[in-house]
A and B are shown apart, each in its own frame.
Chain A
Amino acid sequence: MSLLEVKDLKVNYGGIKALKGISFTVEEGEIVTLIGSNGAGKSTTLKAISGLLKPAAGKIFYHGRDITGLDAQQTVDQGIVLVPEGRRIFPNLTVLENLKIGAYLRSDKAKIQQDLERVYDLFPRLKERSWQKGGTLSGGEQQMLAVGRALMARPQLLMMDEPSLGLAPLVVQDIFKIIGEINATGTTVLLIEQNASAALGLAQRGYVMVTGEINLEGRGTELLANPSVQEAYLGSQKRRHGGGHRAGAAPELNQQA
């Protein structure tokens, strides 16, 4: 049984069909990535899974249970936690308060304290700045805070929406390294990225989304080698001199504007 199974999911924004029926699975312990350009429906997919959006049709199964149409409170309670796009930390709350909000639905104080220590071990920077307001952190630190906040909810399935958005390449490397570490401790990760090369390099499996549909799937390394993926998302050698890995960072620069 898959940890998460999405079947023929459709989401509409008013009259616009954002998702035209997508199906994919995430197995326990995996890192799975959805890649695709702006407007392909990646964020919509995550929002629908976490209950922030109501799907028009289709089913979502989690541990084999139907969770379609549950609200965010219930999905978080079951262990599905979203790190939203653009970090969305709480700027006027301290780092510690931000982290505590992550554990809002939990009542086991001792374990919350344990998890706080774990987050501080993972991100020593956050410990140094625990009394600082979230808004005073740098972009990379804010992303760490957003990830730490999500970890405080004890996720089984951590969904990350564009964690590399607007960050310097070195910081992106750090974030991806940490995603790997989180996964190694047993948390399943569903990752959305425009930075396709980094995401595919990290993930066991990937799905390529184009305008509300999934049109390619495969192992991460396979997709990296796929000529049409290279052409569309990595920038082929013909058009650029920098090579796949550098060009992968280019779309995020556009994103900032």
Chain B
Amino acid sequence: MPLNKHRKLSPVLSLAALILLLVLLIILEQHQSSNRMAVAVLQKGAILAVAAVAMNLPNGFTGIFSLGMAGFMSIGAYITAILTIPTDTIESVYYISGVAGWVMNLKRALDVLPQPLLVLVALLIGGLIAALFAFLIGIPVLRFKSDYLAIATLGFSEIIRALVASPQLDRVTNGSYGLKNIPGFATASGSGVLLIPFAIAAVCIFIMILVINSSYGRAFKAIREDDIAAEAMGINLLKHKELSFVISSFFTAISGGMLAMYMRSIDSKTFQVALTYDILLIVVIGGMGSVTGSIISAFLITAAKEWWLRFFDQTLYIGNWQVPLLRTGFRMVVFSILLMVVVLFYRRGLMGDREFSWEDILGLPQRWRHRRVAIAAAKAEAAAPKDGGQNDA
């Protein structure tokens, strides 16, 4: 069977695609000054891919309608930022109220680590603290269902934002002034701008795929499909929902930390509900319950929003005639219309709940051929009795 041939081929193709991607990233990294936009889009795409897959885990795989993403991202972002801002310049960031003593002590203790390790440790600490928060709020909140759960998690995310901006925490989070001087992805030599975020994203997504394909993942899907039946089969609903929620929050916080590194400066407004909606949009467009869908749509949507649709924002003259509608902000109108079209005609997103597979792609020409043959046969069949009738007459 040809499909079997494709099955043997697909690991080879995956490896080839991976190497191609790696080469592409290295080339882009070496020519980053002339490809600023592509580099920025790929960085942000990788970050949002982690966030989208992390959001898909409870929303698409477990059936928990959670909208607390921005809150968990801000926990990760702030912790990563505070821990990685260079200790010798941090006083200038907190120039209004100064840095709390314990923060300084913690930073001095962590400064023994080399820079790349410090970043990893900071991301991990952010993830673990977000996971702890998720565990604690999950105990009361995950007893709710659907919309109630969404409202509760949304509320949590806003509380975190208010806390971060509160004057009481001025000496820790710098309150409403935000944090700057956050080191980016690049190492001292300027390399790694793309490879580092992609490597972190790949590891995060790989771990989440392992979770989804484990027996825990199967239990998550069972809960999504029918929670009563899942419970009747002995699956502890609250325990598994907690697990899914905590894992998701951990990786959401890591993506938040990466976002802080990408943006180099953050404040509490970065983590408004709009950020959650952006990620929700990526998940829905990619397909609820599809990891590859989330990844593809993270890059597509980021590229469309930040790059491909840019020209809609620029006033354009053809001779003396100004092309109507093209002005700042029109890009988002076009983007929204595109989204509506996608949602209207691809209600289940680009991938539905399927995953990308080479077998599907390679099998396409054959399936099209089968369909053409089938359609032709159906047409011939429909035509045949008509001819028969004419012959009789």
Contact = CB atoms under 8 A, between A and B. Distances in A.
Interface in A108-140: none
Interface string A76-111: 110001101000111111000100111011000000
A149 interface: yes
Contact of A73 (B221, B222, B235, B289): B235
Binding site of B, secondary structure by majority: helix, strand, loop or mixed? helix
Report, as a range, how many residues of chain B touch the other chain: 10 to 19
Interface stretch (B6-14, B143-151, B224-232, B271-279): B224-232
Interface string B205-227: 00000000001001101100110
A93 B235 CA distance: 16
B234 A88 contact: no
Nearest to A85: B228
B240 to A, nearest CB: 10
A100 B214 CA distance: 12
A71 interface: yes
Given A72-B234, A153-B234, A89 B215 contact: no
A52 interface: yes
Given A90-B221, A101-B219, A104-B219, A76 B229 contact: no
B225 A76 contact: no
B218 A149 contact: no
A143 interface: no
Contacts of A91: 225-226
Contact of B233 (A71, A92, A149): A149
Name, among B222, B230, B235, the residue most crowded by chain A CB atoms within 10 Å (CB to CB).
B222
B353 interface: yes
A92 B235 contact: no
A81 B289 CA distance: 29
A93 B221 contact: yes
Most buried by A among B218, B229, B233: B233
A87 to B, nearest CB: 8
A92 B353 contact: yes
Contact of B234 (A92, A93, A97, A105): A105
A50 interface: yes
A9 to B, nearest CB: 19
Interface residues on A, range: 20 to 34
Contacts of A52: 228, 231-232
Interface in A207-242: none
A158 B233 CA distance: 12
B166 interface: no
B219 A72 contact: no
Contacts of B92: none
Given A73-B236, A105-B234, A153-B233, A88 B221 contact: no
Contacts of B230: 90, 101
Nearest to B353: A92
Nearest to B227: A88
Given A90-B221, A90-B222, A92-B221, 7 more contacts: A71-B236, A72-B234, A90-B230, A97-B218, A101-B230, A105-B234, A150-B233
Interface of A: 50, 52, 71-73, 75-77, 81-82, 84, 88-93, 97, 100-102, 104-105, 149-150, 153
14 contacts: A52-B231, A73-B234, A73-B236, A75-B234, A84-B232, A88-B226, A89-B226, A90-B222, A90-B229, A91-B225, A93-B221, A93-B222, A93-B225, A105-B234
Shortest 5 CB-CB contacts between residues of A and residues of B: A76-B234, A88-B229, A90-B225, A105-B234, A82-B232
Interface of B: 215, 218-219, 221-222, 225-226, 228-236, 289, 353
